[in-house]
């Protein structure tokens, strides 16, 4: 149904990690790309307990596989960190290839887990992009989110509720990332109000009844489990006084909608504008990784409230996102100010206008044309 863009470029005979939040489709992708590969699924309780008790059995079983041209798949590798010692031994001594998926390297790092000392490549799977969905529906994406099951569902509300509950149970409680699950559940809702905004740790801590350091740790848990990420402030040689605090985004617009209890997102509403910006952010993050460009994504805001939503790379491209079908000169001020301070290849407004145009050197692009140019490689060219 969906043609995923993660192609494992440069893999060759190397082993690799495939990280991604729950339900982004990691297992489905690996099985589709490597249908004949032996597979260990550590979400299965019998597999988990068998290999947790005796990790050495994994090595004994793998050594029976004679065809080393076919990689061995391990799902949710972080659940049994001891397997990585066996993986490294098999890689070094017998040249086996492994593809290991997981939703977090946090447990591995916290327990001193073996991340293979740079011997494995790193890939990441994001929620669906518009490019991967036949007959993509923007309004559906903003309301349902872009996890495959959620996007396809007639009504994703129960799935979204279950996703948050399962995240608490499986990622947080099961791996003991924090012992205060009720406080963390309150934090998830409080943190959602920071989505697309700068984080006020004191306010969030007060709302969920924890200390400021604990609130910071909770945000880090979200980042480490790939459920959210921070977007840094662009600060290179500023002539104006700029805001330094990073912005915060959940990994999927549907999850943010659910935690914020937004309800149905209607066109031209304030919620639509925020969700639309979030969607474009998801596209940029996925494109940066899948294209192999790995450009950075930052934002720019001055103390006088001039602002640009996204700065790509070393100020090559500046992007403002507006969920509006009419863009006037007042919507260009942030881009004009940034372009006056830094040399940019392109300054772009992504919006709902029906036709592309240029105003005062700034490209006004309908969102569909912007995405066509982004995935076609024209935006950063």
Per residue in 19-50, pLDDT (tens digit) is: 999 999 999 999 999 999 999 999 999 999 99
Which is it for the CA torsion 180, 185, 190, 196, positive or negative?
A: positive
The pLDDT of residue 114 is: 59
What's CA 150's distance to the chain center, in Å? 16
What CATH fold (topology level) applies to the domain 15-124?
Rossmann fold (3.40.50)
Q: How far apart are CA 291 and CA 308, in angstroms?
A: 23
At 120, is the secondary structure helix, strand, or coil? strand
Cα dihedral 251, 254, 257, 263, rounded to 10, equals: 180
Q: How far lies 345's CA from each of 33, 119, 140, 378, in Å?
A: 37, 37, 33, 11
Straight-line distance from the first to the last Cα atom of the chain, in angstroms, rounded to the nearest whole number: 31
Domain ranges of the chain: 15-124, 130-375
Closest CA to 100 of 74, 82, 122: 74
Tokens 């149970």 belong to which residue? 169
Tokens 């940019």 belong to which residue? 344
What's CA 179's distance to the chain center, in Å? 25
Segments in the chain below pLDDT 70: 106-115, 117, 173-177
The pLDDT of residue 13 is: 86
The pLDDT of residue 2 is: 92
């Amino acid at each position: 149904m969906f043609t995923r863009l993660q192609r494992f470029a440069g893999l060759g005979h190397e082993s690799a990690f495939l990280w991604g939040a729950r339900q982004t489709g990691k297992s489905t992708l690996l099985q589709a790309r490597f249908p004949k590969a032996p597979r260990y699924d550590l979400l299965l309780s019998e597999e988990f307990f068998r290999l947790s008790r005796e990790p050495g059995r994994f090595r004994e079983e793998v050594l029976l596989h004679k065809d080393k041209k076919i990689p061995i798949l391990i799902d949710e590798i972080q659940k049994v960190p001891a397997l990585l010692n066996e993986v490294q031994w098999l890689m070094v001594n017998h040249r086996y290839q492994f593809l290991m998926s997981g939703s977090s390297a946090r447990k591995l790092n916290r327990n001193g887990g073996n991340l293979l000392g740079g011997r494995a490549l790193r890939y990441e799977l994001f929620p669906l992009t518009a490019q991967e969905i036949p007959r993509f529906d923007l309004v559906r994406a903003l309301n349902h989110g872009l996890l495959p099951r959620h996007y396809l569902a007639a009504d994703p509300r129960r799935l979204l509720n279950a996703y948050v509950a399962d995240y608490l149970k499986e990622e947080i409680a099961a791996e003991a990332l924090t012992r205060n699950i009720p406080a963390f559940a309150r934090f998830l809702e409080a943190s959602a109000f920071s989505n697309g905004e700068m984080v006020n740790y004191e306010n969030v801590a007060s709302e969920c009844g924890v200390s400021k350091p604990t609130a910071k740790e909770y945000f880090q848990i979200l980042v480490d489990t790939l459920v959210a990420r921070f977007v840094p402030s662009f600060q290179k040689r500023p002539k104006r006084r700029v805001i330094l605090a990073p912005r915060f985004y959940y990994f999927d617009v549907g999850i943010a909608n659910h935690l914020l209890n937004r309800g149905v997102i209607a066109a031209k509403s304030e919620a639509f504008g925020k969700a639309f910006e979030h969607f474009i952010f998801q596209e940029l993050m996925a494109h940066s990784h899948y294209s192999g460009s790995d450009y950075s994504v930052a934002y720019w805001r001055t103390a006088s409230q001039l602002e640009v939503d996204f700065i790509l790379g070393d100020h090559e491209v500046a992007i403002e996102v507006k969920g509006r079908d009419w863009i006037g000169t007042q919507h260009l001020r942030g881009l004009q100010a940034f372009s006056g301070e830094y040399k940019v290849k392109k300054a772009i407004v992504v919006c709902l206008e029906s036709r592309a145009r240029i105003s005062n050197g700034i490209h006004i692009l309908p969102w569909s044309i912007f995405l066509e140019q982004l995935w076609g490689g024209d935006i950063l060219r």
